[in-house]
Structure 1
Amino acid sequence: MSPCRKLLCFVIVLLSFGRLHAQMNPDWITPVAPFRIADNLYYVGSRDLASYLVVTPAGDILINSNLQSSVPQIRHSVERLGFRFSDIKILLISHAHSDHAGGSAAILKQTGAKYMVMDADVPTIQDGGRSDFAYGGRQLMPPAHVDRVLRDGDEVKLGGSVLVAHKTAGHTRGCTTWTMRVRDNGKPRDVVIVGSWNVLSEYRLVATATRPASYPGIAQDFAHGFEVLHSLPCDIFLGAHGGYFEMKEKLSRMATEGSAVWLDPEGYKRAVAEHQKEFEDKLAKQRHEGTSAR
């Protein structure tokens, strides 16, 4: 690649990040003190962009690298808890958008971790967001090499901890909900970290005479994803955004209630049902608009 072309690519990336940051929720970049959720599971993200650290005797697992600019914040949170950033051996993500995977390349460089990504999100990760069906070319991130391609139901194991990757596609083609078991005050608990259930305004769930669907099968993927979410046992409800599981409100109660605030099976069921209805309402609306346009 010529020097001019390299410069042009660099400028495009900067402009892309500039547009993203201009639209950013301030809570995405506002630090929050890291905290222990249960057992060997910790929160090391910002006030809304969630990042989780699973600590094991064989090294640690990080879920979500967040924005490219989030890496120093995540590192500071890990070290503030008394752990070493270099002990991160595996990096996982919820889905291939720049607010959850933008920092991956930097974290991989700093830690030497192995990057494991759901199959259908691998191309987007490795081309820096260019192949994303909704934002391709508009929300770029540094490309990162994927070491292990995950498939629905695959397990990620390290030091006695086991995380299961559930493909809950729609928001991205490889959107991943993670589950694991931890012990909380001596009791086994089922943890669910929701990948995403959001149908963004840019998404086309149905094909019409004038516009194709965002990708073939997107509506079926969303519907299947909600079936999966309904089927998962959940004691500790978490997600890729703090807003998914009312993190700020629960943190305000943590001083008096302790880690019990994270036990929210009913909140999980309610949130899944609410977001499923939002999806179904948008699907019905787009189908009606498509029929009316004929």
Structure 2
Amino acid sequence: MKPVLFLFSLLVSLTFTLSAQAQRSAAWTTPFPPHKIAGNLYYVGSQDLASYLVTTPEGHILINSSLEESVPLIRDAVTKLGFKWTDIKILLISHAHDDHCGGSATILKETGAKHFVMEGDADAIESGGVKKTRLSASYMSFAPAKVDRRLKDGEEVTLGGSTLVAHLTPGHTPGCTTWTMKVDGLDAVIIGSPNVNPGTVLVNSKTYPAIAEDYKTCFRVLKALPIDIFLGAHGGYYDLQAKHAKLATAGGNNPFFDKAGYAAYVADREQAFLKELAKQMGK
């Protein structure tokens, strides 16, 4: 390779590496106190990458494996709560980006759990997402993981008397999933993602032609869901750290019960999407 071409290649590679590192906040891998949210629903994620454990007499359900390097953190959180790691029987995810599914292959190997994924993301999960190149977005690539059940919109996942419902909220990915469940008779909603990542093409996308309409579907679904407990794939969606700090002083009031916060968040994200869509349409 000629020196000039080599230097150019090195510069591109370094730029991509630094960009990929910049995408990852320190909060993604910083441990956070595992805690009970309500009933048999627990938080076992980091400061910002949210993972949830639903415990039952017949084993447990884990939602979101986060990054590959997050697995020890999640395992430690489950153990600190007094539950067995190998009692996880089902692994679910919010969507096929590495910050929510990168650790899936390792968790499946360690626990023997079954992997259920919305059909729109299942192929990506099994293939490892976008082929890794210097220019491909890092969050689109991850370790491949076998999918045992391909879910459709509205399907239920039941274990030991607890049922989660998979709601297709596409756009962020074709199979982006918002999970809901009843906890102590209340409606808990774990938002998949309504966000438009920087660089996302919303108009005339060659890789995802229906993306704009799918985002509109996402917001219609989110606005129609019954909601008492507001949760999400990132702790930042629902102000995890501030709400967790209130647990000890809430006086019996659960800070995660936040209908108003949910409505405000969804409305804000919808406006951000519409603004970006209008920009890309030249309006």
> Is the TM value for this pair above 0.5?
yes
Residues 160, 136 of structure 1: CA spacing in aligned structure 2 closer, same or farther, 3 A cutoff?
Answer: farther
TM-score, normalized by length of structure 1? 0.86
Q: Secondary structure at the match of 1:47?
A: coil
Q: Report the Cα distance in structure 1 between the residues aligned to 2:168 and 2:131, rounded to whole angstroms.
A: 19
- Are 2:243 and 1:250 equivalent residues in the alignment? yes
Gaps of 5+ in 2: 1-15
Are 2:78 and 2:84, in contact at CA under 8 Å, matched by a contact in 1? yes
Residues 136, 149 of structure 1: CA spacing in aligned structure 2 closer, same or farther, 3 A cutoff?
Answer: farther
1:138-177 equivalences under 5 Å are 138-139=138-139, 140-177=141-178
Residue 260 (structure 1) aligned to one of 254, 258, 277: 254
Q: Secondary structure at the match of 2:125?
A: helix
Q: Report the Cα distance in structure 1 between the residues aligned to 2:202 and 2:206, rounded to whole angstroms.
A: 5
Residue in 1 that maps onto 2:103: 103
Q: Secondary structure at the match of 1:253?
A: helix
% identical equivalent positions = 54
Aligned length in residues: 265
Amino acid at match of 1:265: K
Residue in 1 that maps onto 2:31: 31
Gaps of 5+ in 1: 1-15, 290-294
TM-score, normalized by length of structure 2? 0.89
Q: Report the Cα distance in structure 2 between the residues aligned to 1:259 and 1:49, rounded to whole angstroms.
A: 25
Structure 1 stretches of at least 4 aligned residues deviating more than 2 Å after TM superposition: 16-23, 135-140
Measured after TM superposition, the shift of residue 109 of structure 1 is 0.2
Q: Report the Cα distance in structure 1 between the residues aligned to 2:167 and 2:66, rounded to whole angstroms.
A: 20
Q: Report the Cα distance in structure 1 between the residues aligned to 2:23 and 2:197, rounded to whole angstroms.
A: 14
Q: Which is worse superposed, 77-86 or 17-26?
A: 17-26
Are 2:20 and 2:137, in contact at CA under 8 Å, matched by a contact in 1? no
Are 2:58 and 2:159, in contact at CA under 8 Å, matched by a contact in 1? yes
1:148-227 equivalences under 5 Å are 148-183=149-184, 188-207=185-204, 212=205, 214-227=207-220
Q: CA RMSD in A?
A: 1.9
Residues 85, 18 of structure 1: CA spacing in aligned structure 2 closer, same or farther, 3 A cutoff?
Answer: farther
Q: Which is worse superposed, 214-223 or 71-80?
A: 214-223
Measured after TM superposition, the shift of residue 251 of structure 1 is 1.4
Residues 147, 57 of structure 1: CA spacing in aligned structure 2 closer, same or farther, 3 A cutoff?
Answer: same
Give CA deviations for 1:209-229 in whole Å, capped at 9, x if unaligned: xxx455111000000110000
